[in-house]
Amino acid sequence: MTTISVHATTKRERIQALDVLRGFALLGILVLNINDFAGPEATHDIPYGAFTGPHAAINLVTFYIKWLFFEGKMRGLFSMLFGAGVVLLTRRMEERGAGPIAADIYLRRNMILVVLGVMHYCLVWHGDILFDYGFVALLALYPLRKLSAKTLLVTGTALSAIVATWLGMVYVGSLHNIPLQHKAAAVAEHQRAGVKLTAEEEQIQKDWKKAVEDHQATPASIQKQIKEAKVSYLQGVMDRSADFKDTFFRVHIILMSDNLSAMLIGMGLMRMGFLTGELSFLSYALTALFGFAISLPIYAVGIAKTVASRLDFIEIDKWLFAEYYITREPGMIAIAACIVMLIKSGRLRTVQQLVAGVGQTALTNYLATSILMQTLFIWGPWDLYGKLEYYQLNWVVAAMWSLNLALSALWLRFYTFGPVEWAWRSLTYLRPAELRRPLSETQSNSLFRQTDPQNV
């Protein structure tokens, strides 16, 4: 009888290129998440009143950098790498002769992730992505893992360009608000001409007035949001739990294509060797050039239009959100290409190793960041929620990055996995993983070792 070897992938089997990409994406996600941790927003990652006053210039530069290089791209890159991990996980198990039970391992792995995501959402922070990753993986990714790279790339791109874009516009109101604005303008013209309004036109006026009020930032509305955020921990858990239930269909079902499209692209890029540095340097350079040529000009114009409108919600819908996925995919792939080029060049190796350490302990770092940010802004004695200016959040991000990089490197000197990764692996494989690093083990300098596919 043939013995099947089933165990978590060892340190020597890691492809550090994927760890560098994952670590970079994880660090970059905080650049956007910090806005939600730190205070109320006019809308998704759009700051209240940041472009007036003495710090308007630095706030504007921060706004441009965030939207050109981070907004959507980091989360998309993280989702890409999760999809790549599905290909790698099942491939490694089949190579070890564990193919017949790969589905069991895969199922447990993602069921644990779903549970962890719900706990993170309800107990810590409503911006969780772990539940969505595990949920999408359970519903869709396993039967798609052996499709060709071309099929995966085409399907993921089409899903993003068509379905995700359409759903994104529905989600932020573009498909409703922009036509409503035109109808309201026509009604106002009738009213100025002395034409008696119909019941339908009066309803249009009411709907438009409500839409404007809902998107209008006033000192009272800002203070209301701040007060709602600063509730007791128990009340916060109850509020987040109710929110998870109430928004489940709208967020986790309707917007499933947001994550699925990037995951399919990641699976395709993994199968073709793009994410592990197997293509030519010229291929990555051309990919970066074309990706940025698409994403940067569109958003540069969009940001300028948005700022010129003084953050009018209709202009935000038209110039930032309607093009969201058209810019996200080219941008995230271009960024990935630049990182792989850096890895292939062999430069900044110490920095790469530090970032790779964050990638190896991505799940621990992700959860720890949420806990620390919530403690800093909401739970702790500092009471900073809503008190820092837009540009000042950069210093908080830099401090958190320093902790991520330093503590990950220190931990990995003595241990093989991050603490949460260790628990995840142990539960997945139904046996305790070896946590303590053997004293004789030395860290390889190779940047292209086979990665642990269980990383998020």
Residue 111: what residue type?
M
Condensed to tens digits (0 to 9), the pLDDT of residues 6-22 reads 444 334 434 788 999 99
Please report whether residue 437 resides in a domain.
no
* Helices first, then strands: H and E counts in the chain: 20, 0
| Distance from C-alpha of 279 to C-alpha of 450, rounded to nearest angstrom | 16
Query: In the numeric block, which tokens belong to residue 312?
Result: 């009018």
Task: Tell me the mean pLDDT in the region 121-131.
Answer: 97
Closest alpha carbon to 261 in 364, 211, 333, 350 = 333
Kindly state whether residue 2 falls inside one of the protein's structural domains: no
Q: What is the pTM of this model?
A: 0.90
Q: Is residue 451 part of a domain?
A: no
Examine residue 156 and state whether it is found in any structural domain, yes or no: yes
Residue 144's pLDDT is 93
3 in a structural domain: no
Q: Which amino acid is at 298?
A: I
Amino acid at 306: T
440 lies in some domain: no
Spatial CB neighbours of 176, under 8 Å, sequence gap ≥ 6: 170
- Mean pLDDT computed over 282-295: 97
Is 171 in a helix, a strand, or coil?
Answer: helix
- Per residue in 183-199, pLDDT (tens digit) is 999 999 988 888 888 99
Give yes or no for residue 389 having a pLDDT over 70: yes
Would you place residue 23 in the very low, low, confident or very high pLDDT band (cuts 50, 70, 90)?
very high
Per-residue pLDDT, 8: 46
Number of compact structural domains in the chain: 1
- Whether 356 maps to a domain, the answer reads yes
Residue 377 has a pLDDT of 96
Ranking 121-130, 157-166, 336-345 by mean pLDDT, the lowest is 157-166
The answer to whether residue 391 scores a pLDDT higher than 60 is yes
Q: Please state, rounded to an integer, the average pLDDT across all residues of the chain.
A: 89
Query: In this model, does residue 5 exceed pLDDT 50?
Result: no
Say what percent of the chain tops pLDDT 90. Answer: 65
Instruction: Look up the domain containing 370 and give its range.
Output: 11-429
- Residue whose C-alpha is closest to residue 319's, from 67, 72, 57, 66: 67
Tell me the per-residue pLDDT of 427-455, one tens digit each, with 9 for 90 and over. Answer: 999 999 989 988 766 444 444 444 555 55
More confident residue, 399 or 90: 399
Evaluate whether residue 452 is within a structural domain.
no
Per DSSP, 280 falls in state: -
How much of the chain is in helix, strand and coil states, percent to nearest 5?
75, 0, 25
Q: How far apart are CA 2 and CA 212, in angstroms?
A: 68
Phi, psi of 415 (to 5 degrees): -130, 150
Give 60-108 pLDDT, tens digit per residue: 999 999 999 999 999 999 999 999 999 998 888 888 877 778 889 999 9
CA distance 231 to 407: 31
Sign (positive or negative) of CA dihedral 10, 11, 14, 18: positive
Q: What confidence score (pLDDT) does residue 267 get?
A: 97
Which one-letter DSSP state was computed for residue 431?
S
Helix or strand or coil: residue 322?
Answer: coil
